[in-house]
Structure 1
Amino acid sequence: MTSPGDTEHPAPGRWLLLLLFLAICCAVAVVGAVAAGDAGSTYTSLRLPGWAPPGWLFGPVWTVLYATIAVAGWLIARTRRPGNRTALLWWSVQLVLNLAWTPLFFGAERYGLALVDILLLVTALIVTMVKFARLHTWAAVLLAPYLVWVSYASALNCSIWLANT
């Protein structure tokens, strides 16, 4: 949580920093989409559990999640307190693991390896949230829907791997 003694970037720099975090998350989304190829066709061709979401839902959900991921990172980056570099390192680790999942799952169709990646992502995300919570409560709270979605996606990934190998 921020406190009155925290120092922050000046106002113009603050908004440029937010644009940088949004651009980073947008780049992850675009690279993931390109690496996925025709993810929609791949997804519909799989044996899916009855609780699998419809393919059209992924785009809107990830758009919101990437925005919250960016804002959470920005909140930490603009607060200069001990531990924010470590927190941002964990933010970066979870984002790299996020980026790796799509090419593993859709591009390479390596569902087991994608499952390992997404479980590492859940772990890194939990660590990120703990680090964020020590610095800015809302930054951690903003990541909660992402954790719920990625946990659900982990179960879905596992189910798909077991049904399609």
Structure 2
Amino acid sequence: MTTYIPHITLPNSVFENPAASILLPIALGTAVGFSTRPSDTQATYLALRQPPLRPPPWVFGPVWTALYGLMGYASHRAVSAGLSPMASPATVATTKHGATLYTLQLGLNLAWMPLFFGIRRPIEATIDIIALIGVNGYLTYVWSGVDEVSAWCFAPYLAWLGFATYLSAGVGYLNNWTMKGGDAKKTE
């Protein structure tokens, strides 16, 4: 089990404030999305061979915004419940451990888009998203012992990550794990 690592964990003040908890991942996700130039990202996405069931590009923004908000809400609930004065020392330790995992998963999440679309490294992006699923599965388990609602808030996120992993690996495979210059051929 990992432990609480204060130097890499978001400050408790972020988790304690519901607005900060919800808006921080949304703002960071939006910033990363815009840093990879949305029009270039969309053009690259449409130029790549895609696996079946791929959604249109406009779906990703609203879905990720909702998921970022939900994960932020879950983090607020879990940390508020787990660090309450009535919480046992074991619950406090578990909550702090979960806060470190949450911060790690947020970093992994934010790294995917620059890996995939920024530097066009589909192998590394797929490894990143597989690690992201693992960390989130474990985080869901950890926080289920602190606040059951928080754990359930991660269910849609885990489902979407499974689908996103399929898309990431599918695009990588169908394009021979290369995205050189974005000149991959669009599927017919």
Is contact 1:68–1:142 with CA below 8 Å preserved after alignment? yes
Over 3 Å counting, the alpha-carbon distance change for 1:16 and 1:88 in structure 2 is: closer
Say which SS state the counterpart of residue 145 (structure 2) adopts. Answer: helix
Question: Which stretch of the first structure deviates more once superposed, 113-122 or 45-54?
Answer: 45-54
Within 1, Cα distance between the matches of 2:14 and 2:123?
41
Offset at residue 147 of structure 1 (A): 0.2
* Structure 1 stretch displaced more, 35-44 or 108-117: 35-44
Q: Corresponding residue for 1:106? A: 117
Structure 1 residue 134 displacement after superposition: 0.5
Paired residue for 1:133? 144
Q: Distance in 2 between matches of 1:122 and 1:25?
A: 17
Cα deviation digits, residues 69-127 of structure 1 (max 9, x gap): 00000001212132110011111111100000010011111001000000000000001
Q: Distance in 1 between matches of 2:147 and 2:127?
A: 29
Q: 72-81 or 99-108: which moved more?
A: 72-81
CA–CA distance in structure 1, aligned partners of residues 35 and 124 of structure 2:
16
Question: 1:115–1:154: 8 Å Cα contact kept in structure 2?
Answer: yes
CA contact (8 A) 2:16 2:80 kept: no
Shift of 1:36: 2.3
Matched residues in 1 for 2:174 and 2:65: separation? 28
**Which residue number corresponds to residue 64 of structure 1?**
66
Offset, 1:35: 3.1
Residue 15 of structure 1 and its aligned partner are, at CA, apart by 9.7
Q: Is 1:35–1:102's contact at 8 Å kept on the other side of the alignment?
A: no
Report the CA distance shift for 1:15/1:35 in structure 2 as closer, same or farther (over 3 A): closer
Q: CA deviation at 1:26?
A: 2.0
Count of residue pairs brought into register by the alignment: 153
| Residues 14 and 20, structure 2, Cα contact 8 Å, conserved in 1 | no
Give structure 1 stretches of 5+ with no counterpart: 1-12
TM-score, normalised to structure 2, is: 0.77
Question: Cα offset for 1:42?
Answer: 1.2
| Inter-partner Cα distance in structure 2 for 1:50 and 1:124 | 27
With the length of structure 1 as denominator, give the TM-score of the two structures. Answer: 0.87
Deviation, 1:14, is 9.9
The one of 37, 40, 43 equivalent to 2:42 is 40
Q: CA RMSD in A?
A: 1.8
For residue 143 of structure 1, give the secondary structure of its aligned residue in structure 2: helix
Q: Distance in 1 between matches of 2:22 and 2:14?
A: 12
Contact 2:16–2:79 (8 Å) recurs in 1: no
